[in-house]
Structure 1
Amino acid sequence: MLDALTVAVGVAALALAAWCGLAAFRDQPTKDWHFIGMAVVTVLAAAQLVVGIVQLARGEEAEQGTAIFLSYLIGSALAVPAAGFLSLAERTRWGSATVAAGAIVLAVLEVRLYDIWGR
């Protein structure tokens, strides 16, 4: 797995979490700018998904197992889009808080992916 991409996704997720957390603190719902930030983080996570699948297809193996690695990889690609979808249903400060929580979950998943890959 590309360590630089894992770090980039984690840092971008934490930045999104801070940004949406600040919006929730200010009692603001998610706005168009937040969705652009979510799109950037989602593109990075999708790139990581592609890289992970390509590496598995080339014969490389995760240290802790392919099935658990794929589960975390797919979950990390879906964490922010799912939170963004939920924030559309809740157009209050809690929508922003939901996106912040989803971004924190993504950052934690990135740490776990790094551990699972093991290199």
Structure 2
Amino acid sequence: MLVVLTIVTSVAALALAAWCGFAAYRDQSTKDWHFIGMAVVTLLALVQLIVGIVQLARGEKAEQGTALFVSYLLGTFFCVPAAGYMSLMERTRWGSATAAGGGVLLAVLELRLYDIWGG
């Protein structure tokens, strides 16, 4: 695992969570700019998914098991898009809160992913 990529993805996810959380605090729904932020964070998660699969293909092993590692990789990739979809369905402040929750969840999943790899 690339530690720098994990840190950058976690920080970007927490920044997205703070941004969407502030929108929820101000009683605003998610806007187009929030979805652009979600796309950037999802792109970082996609890069991490690709890097993780390439490392596994090169013969490197996750400390706590390959199946668990791959499942967490897929979970990190789908976390923010799922929260974004749910925030589209709920066009109130709670949609912003859902997107903020997705960002926090992604940061937690990144920490767990690092731990599974053996960090």
TM range (shorter): over 0.9
Alignment of 1:70 with 2:70, yes or no, is yes
User: Separation in 2 of the partners of 1:17 and 1:47?
Assistant: 20
Query: Alpha-carbon deviations, 1:60-117, whole Å to 9, x = none?
Result: 0000000000010100000000000000100000000000001100000000001000
User: Separation in 2 of the partners of 1:103 and 1:80?
Assistant: 6
Q: Which residue is equivalent to 1:41?
A: 41
Q: Which residue is equivalent to 1:15?
A: 15
Counting matched residue pairs gives 119
Counterpart mapping for 1:1-119 below 5 A: 1-119=1-119
Counterpart of 2:12, as a letter, is: A
Runs of 4 or more off by more than 6 Å in structure 1? none
Structure 2 stretches lacking a partner, 5+ long:
none
Structure 1 stretches lacking a partner, 5+ long:
none
Query: With structure 1 as the length reference, what TM-score do the two structures score?
Result: 0.99
Instruction: Tell me the percent identity.
Output: 74
User: Separation in 1 of the partners of 2:73 and 2:6?
Assistant: 11
User: Separation in 1 of the partners of 2:118 and 2:64?
Assistant: 8
User: Separation in 2 of the partners of 1:102 and 1:114?
Assistant: 18
Query: Alpha-carbon deviations, 1:23-58, whole Å to 9, x = none?
Result: 000000000000000000000000000000000000
User: Separation in 2 of the partners of 1:111 and 1:83?
Assistant: 19
User: Separation in 2 of the partners of 1:20 and 1:3?
Assistant: 26
**Root mean square deviation, CA, Å:** 0.5
User: Separation in 1 of the partners of 2:8 and 2:45?
Assistant: 9
